[in-house]
Structure 1
Amino acid sequence: MVGGDWLLGVAFGVTATAAASLDPALRQVTPIRLPNGVGVNPPHAEAAIAALRAALISGQFSSGGQPPSGLALAYPDEWPLERIQLLLHAATAVGYSANLVRLLPFSEAAGHHREIYPEDNPASAAARGALLAATGPIYANQIPQQPVPLGSPPAVTAPPTNRVPWILAAAFALVVVIAGAATAAVILTGGDDDTTVATATRTTGFALLSPTASAPTTTSRAADPSASPLPLAAAPPPPSSTPSPEPQPTATTRLAPTTTSDAPAPAAPSSADTPPTTDIPDLHEAAIRGYCRGLLNQVGKFPGGLPAMRAQVSPPPFTSPSDWSEAFDRAASGSCQ
């Protein structure tokens, strides 16, 4: 998911949920006023998705209608790993893969921003601090900004007329990153099933451009008839013509009589007593494979192929150059595994 030139920070506090936006060019943090009824301390995935979607909609009103290019999410320090994973699942559900999300606890986030705002609370300070922790220190002379009211409509600007030479490259980069993020999300939820991945890459690009749009209806594809069949079991070897030697008789040892006890045998531990284990998906590997598949899906539409795309398409926010290069290397080899 690639959006406008701004980042969204959301802090899920115990008593309040707060949000803020960051303009990376101006290094300016602005609080975002959330609507009434936004859930706090989300106990399950549905509540986390609803709170994050409300913050996205409110942030787009103050950012010209464009979705953010990345998310910085803060959570209470006492949250267990299972609760933290809810935020990653919520970000994936609204269109942001793991490489576009930064997670950090309140104590770390709040330490990056100490300005006092009207009606401030620990959650709002953590939302601003999460953005600064994800992008670096802010200038000391920043002037605090007031929250933007929800009633103001998005600003409408005239289309540019003198940016045609690089709009084509930017459009292809947008499609590649969208396809890569969507495929990474499918890998996290659906595994390595080729039918699921192929179905995800055929979704409409217009629906993926907005993180709040509903998921498009897709049709599954039957298995490839040209795939190699399952391996057959090997035939048993023919019987040997040489007779095996007769076994030598062995001495029989008489066992001493044993006494039986009337005490019942200890019961075997049941599976219900064993604590379940939670498999955490490999988000880093899924993101690289998702970008690789997105590149392979768009390479035929980009003039110059993969070499030109490597030279012109910049890595998405929160993506290291080594991961971006790894995705291109796998795409060049033809295999994203």
Structure 2
Amino acid sequence: MLVYHTVFSIPSSFILLGIPGLEAAHIWISIPFCAMYTIAVLGNFTILLIVRMEQSLHAPMYYFFCMLAVIDLVLSTTILPKMLSIFWFNSREIEFSDCFTQLYFIDCFAVMESGILVALGFDRYVAICDPLRHSTILTNTVVAKIGVAMLLRGGLLTLPRPFLETRWPYCRTNVIAHTYCDQIAVVKLACADIHFSSYYGFLVILLVTVPDVSFITFSYIQILRAIFSLPTKDARLKTFGTCGSHLCVILAFYIPALFSIFTQEFGHNVPLHFHVIAANMFLLLPPMLNPIIYGVRTKQIRDRLLHLLTHKGT
């Protein structure tokens, strides 16, 4: 039998409650979450497969799509299996080291995803505002360097917090009122001065969100200026259509992310189960929506997918 409230300095494990207040509905809640994860896995693997098979898609934009697909697979897989084990088998215990590994992966890959969205914005900016130099600016080497830079940025920026937090005493309780090891929920359990961790977390958000959103905004201001300078309406619509999938992906990532952050920081009167559901949606909704958006709005991927499906059916 698991003890939910104990007093200790270094816990061997934490207890994840799932969605507090909605325990009786865990089985039913697991159905849409499981469906979202299934769509995310199938969709993102399909993107990777199509880009790998189709030689014409070996281009910067599609390489960035693949990077985003890998990140989405890691993000959703980091939380969903453990969440389902809580909902289906009441397996609430998570090892101390596993908890902080999960916490680190969530923060790291969320920062990486934001960076890849910036890279996609840069790709669209060059393709529309300087199309003749697109192939010389965004070479395979440059794309690889951008990918490595985003990996290092995510890995290094988010490393200090778990490195510090694993050394704190956790003497209040080992119970986390969440479906996964959420940063804020875990830090609140520490019997230590958590101000540095809070300030550093806020600094990371500023260092990532402000430059990334600013660069994307600047890119699209320039893109819109280039589009409106085109002579015909059809040309403007066609050119803007090439940016449609990227804009949808940006909204699918930043809106749930900012909503989750603001509800946790300022929504003190919001029910706890609402906080938990919002945090889960931030990590499950973009991985599910991104491959759907690409499949619907990107003609090359849509055509290749239809070809594969019809070819198999004949």
TM-score bin, normalised by smaller chain = under 0.3
TM-score, normalised relative to structure 2: 0.27
Identify the structure with bigger relative contact order (alpha carbons < 8 Å, sequence gap 6+): 2
Higher strand share: 1
Higher helix share: 2
TM-score, normalised relative to structure 1: 0.25
